Amino acid sequence: MTYLPRSMVALAAIFFVSTAASAQDDPLPSWNDGPTKEAIVGFVEKVTEEGGPDYVRPEDRIATFDNDGTLWAEKPVYFQLLFAIDRVKQLAPEHPEWKDKQPFNAAIEGDMKTLAASGLKGIAELVMASHAGMSPAEFQKIAGDWLATAKHPRFKRPYTDLVYQPMLELLSYLRDNGFTTYIVSGGGIEFVRNFSESKYGIPPAQVVGSSIKTKYEVVDGVPTLIRLPEMNFINDKDGKPVGINQYIGQRPIFASGNSDGDYQMLEWTTAGEGPRFGLILHHTDAEREYAYDRDSSVGRLNKALDDAPSKGWVVIDMKKDWKTVFPSEN
């Protein structure tokens, strides 16, 4: 047996300990080192440095994140749309009139191109028709059951597995540094609230989204809320700053999105006084996820991509900046 000199053993021990420590010290281990990661860390460090010129009080450290295409995947179409399609197909025998009306006919026939083109308004119409007349709790039960069993057609994993590991780390990093994190989604608020805490660590009260109207009734002596087939608020594009103001009541200092639907949220956030940070996820990785931007019917990124340099927004290149995309399968 060959024995190493004590000095070499000591050096090796120091090397491995320092390597392990540096890995633990890295708050964003799934991000490649480079300008994007450096910009994020640099911003967080300067706004949390007490006594520094850019210090921001913890109560003002508000960070808002889009959901579809920013925190989880959104291809081939928005996942809530797939949920609504399944529900419409299930209820179609009770509604023969849907065969002659869009987007219902497209849902029944599986016409994804027409459905994708219908956008968030199409989703809202399907959800309103197929999930009205029930309580929010009943809706969440139906949505939760679907999320627990449905799987993505390409990745063959539950949709809630297709959250972005680097963004989960970013959310945790911000919260560890005194930020309050919110979801500001164009998707249905009650759909997103179903999994926001378990997947993102964001409680339902910190979710802002599109909604249909509800009314209060006493049914058989029980106080009840009933969902109505009427749109209440679409939290997309110029609706996002309005939704932030209504639900949060503070302008964020950090905002992240992935499409032109997030443009106004980014613009409003970074137009405020003091240090501000706008972050855009550019989908560039066709192998590990999807590559799309200007010509996509889902998550179109055109104007925001063009204006990012002049606005000072940081653009994540998924292929270059991320070591991994999704969490490992259990």
- Domain membership of residue 46 (yes or no) is yes
- Domain membership of residue 136 (yes or no) is no
* pLDDT for the residue 123: 78
Owning domain of residue 233:
29-75+161-321
274-308 pLDDT per residue, tens: 999 999 999 999 999 999 999 998 999 999 999 99
- Domain membership of residue 4 (yes or no) is no
CA distance 35 to 46: 16
Q: Provide the number of structural domains found in the chain.
A: 1
DSSP-assigned letters across all residues of 254-307: EEEESSGGGHHHHHHHHTSSS--EEEEEE-B-TTTS-B--TT-SSS--SHHHHH
- Domain membership of residue 82 (yes or no) is no
- Domain membership of residue 106 (yes or no) is no
- Domain membership of residue 111 (yes or no) is no
- Domain membership of residue 102 (yes or no) is no
Q: How confident is the model at residue 314 (pLDDT cuts 50, 70, 90)?
A: very high
CA distance 128 to 145: 19
- Domain membership of residue 326 (yes or no) is no
- Domain containing residue 183: CATH number: 3.40.50.1000
Whole-prediction pTM: 0.90
Assign residue 56 a region (left: φ > 0; alpha: ψ between -120 and 50; beta: otherwise): beta
216-268 pLDDT per residue, tens: 999 999 999 999 999 999 999 999 999 999 999 999 999 999 999 999 999 99
Phi, psi of 278 (to 5 degrees): -115, 135
